[in-house]
Amino acid sequence: MTGNDILLWDETLFKDPSVLEPDYLPEYFPHRESQLNGIRFALKPALRGMRPLNCLLVGPPGTGKTSAVMKVFGEVEAHAPSVVTVKVNCQIDSTRFAVMSRIYRKLFGISPPNSGIAFRKIFETVVNFLVSSEKVLLVALDDLNYLCYEGHANEVMYSLLRAHEQYPGTKIGIIGIVNDASDLYCLDSRVNSVFLPEDIPFPRYGSTEILDILKDRVKYGFYPKVISDELLELVVSYVERTGDLRVGIDLLKRSGFNAERRGSRTISSEDVEKAYEASKLLHLCRGINLLSGPEKHLLELIAKRGEVQAGELYKSFHELTQLGYTRFYGIVNKLQVLNYIDADFTGKGQRGRTRIIKTKFRAEDILNCLEKK
């Protein structure tokens, strides 16, 4: 290769790299108008100083749930100085204390004093401030299912939802975000009787929608002609398998890196294919990360053995977690539904049919994901 095809060492294919970063909030946010309106409708009372409706955003990873909330939060904060919005990532802040500290930091710009201070103290400070300054608080609990795994969901929700009973004048709305409605199995009736959210479903994107969204990222992220229409279609076909847009954006970025590494001004199909191998793993790891502790333990046991009889597997699982057969059986089924494992019956067992359990991904990949956390 000569001349123009070769990238000089300080040149790049990326016009604006931030457009391809996972936390980028795009200007153009199509195909989610009804969801955005659903959230706006639920939160609208807050703009008039009233307690908003709670809502629950439900949909698989990469369907725009977090981004949609951040968009509406941005609008609300720009228009209503008396509304405070806080997004809590429950994977990171998974206790009542951590959630309330996050809210405290947003309100006061500093962390609460941490030397042995009780939850109640922080909570009272937050609530008293809201009441005296007549502010409405909107809390997005992103990946709320993590609060269930850690066993803190009820106390977090209860504190926020019933604050006004103890502290009259408090106005708090909750936006819950989950992958699946069944993720909220752990909420008890005290919470459910006050949560009563507006359900806002986020379905998987289809290929035309994916193409439309990725085209916009390509336009702002890369210089012109870096990726051809045919190769963008190839990217879309990969994304369609999972429906996870994050995979598509990650694929574009990695493909660009691969082309740059070759010193090329354009992305080739090999660049995309190589990127897909890497980002497939990213998807696997993201999925595994969403599993609960016991689910991860079981998957790890299976991956370490490659192939194992259900009875044996239960024994090791019980030793490790002390959990009983019902939970074990439930988790095996979940891992099967999520496509991580096969659990088929064979005729070869000593007492007739046994179940042989094996992983559907390379054990090495699974163990790598589990290690990364």
List binding-site positions: 63-67, 205, 217
The stretch among 48-56, 62-70, 195-203, 334-342 that binds Mg ion (CB under 5 A) is 62-70
**Contact indicator for 274, 324 with CB cutoff of 8 Å:** no
- C-alpha distance from residue 347 to each of 313, 340, 352, 372 (Å): 18, 23, 6, 38
Looking at beta carbons only, is 201 or 349 nearer to ligand ADP?
201
In which residue are the tokens 């807050």 written?
46
Contacts (Cβ under 8 Å, ≥6 apart) of 350: none
Under a CB-based contact definition with an 8 Å cutoff, are residues 16 and 216 in contact? no
Q: Which is nearer to Mg ion, 58 or 130 (CB)?
A: 58
Nearest distance from C-beta of residue 37 to ligand ADP, angstroms: 14
The least distance separating Mg ion from the CB of residue 63, rounded to whole angstroms, comes to: 9
Q: Given the complex with ligand ADP, which of 80 and 249 has the nearer CB atom?
A: 249
Scanning 61-69, 193-201, 249-257, 363-371 for contacts with Mg ion by CB under 5 A, the matching segment is 61-69
Supply the minimum distance, in Å, between the C-beta of residue 211 and ligand ADP.
12
Query: Smallest Cα–Cα separation from 362: which of 277, 291, 290, 289?
Result: 277
Decide which of Mg ion, ligand ADP, none touches 234; Cβ closer than 5 to 8 Å per partner kind. Answer: none
The whole-angstrom separation of Cα 261 and Cα 264 is 8
The residues, any chain, with a CB within 8 Å of residue 146's CB and separated by 6 or more, are: 90, 91, 94
Residues at the binding site for ATP are: 63-67, 205, 217
Backbone phi and psi for residue 8, each to the nearest 5 degrees, phi listed first: -70, 160
Residue 297 interacts with which of Mg ion, ligand ADP, none, CB < 5 to 8 Å by class: none
| Selection from 63, 177, 166, 65 nearest residue 124 by Cα | 166
Stretch that binds Mg ion, among 32-40, 59-67, 87-95, 275-283 (CB under 5 A): 59-67
Cβ count within 10 A of residue 276? 22
Rule CB under 5 A: choose which of 35, 54, 63, 66 binds Mg ion.
Answer: 66
Which C-beta is closer to ligand ADP: that of 59 or that of 176?
A: 59
- Cβ of residue 132: shortest distance to ligand ADP, in angstroms? 34
* Euclidean distance between CA atoms 322 and 205, whole angstroms: 40
Per CB under 6 A, residues contacting ligand ADP are: 22, 24, 26, 29-32, 59, 61-67, 202, 213, 245-246, 249
Q: Return the range that interacts with Mg ion (CB under 5 A); candidates 65-73, 162-170, 247-255, 268-276.
A: 65-73
Nearer to ligand ADP, 177 or 369 (CB): 177
Cβ proximity to ligand ADP: between 2 and 34 the closer is 34
Decide: 346 and 259 in contact? Cβ < 8 Å. Answer: no
Going residue by residue from 336 to 355, which x/- string records binding to Mg ion, judged by CB under 5 A? --------------------
Q: Does 35 bind Mg ion (CB under 5 A)?
A: no
- When the beta carbons of 24 and 257 are compared against ligand ADP, the nearer one is 24
Q: Which is nearer to ligand ADP, 42 or 302 (CB)?
A: 42
Q: Radius of gyration (Cα) for the chain, nearest Å?
A: 24
- Dihedral of the alpha carbons of 361, 20, 248, 225, in degrees to the nearest 10: -130
Give the Cβ contact number of residue 286 at 10 Å. 16
Q: Choosing among Mg ion, ligand ADP, none, which partner's interface includes residue 26 (Cβ < 5 to 8 Å by kind)?
A: ligand ADP
Closest residue to ligand ADP, judged by C-beta, is 64
CA 136/CA 55 separation, integer angstroms: 16
Shortest reach from residue 246's CB to Mg ion, in Å? 9
User: How many residues contact Mg ion, by CB under 5 A?
Assistant: 1
51 within 8 A of 173, measured Cβ to Cβ:
yes
Residues near Mg ion (CB under 5 A) are 66
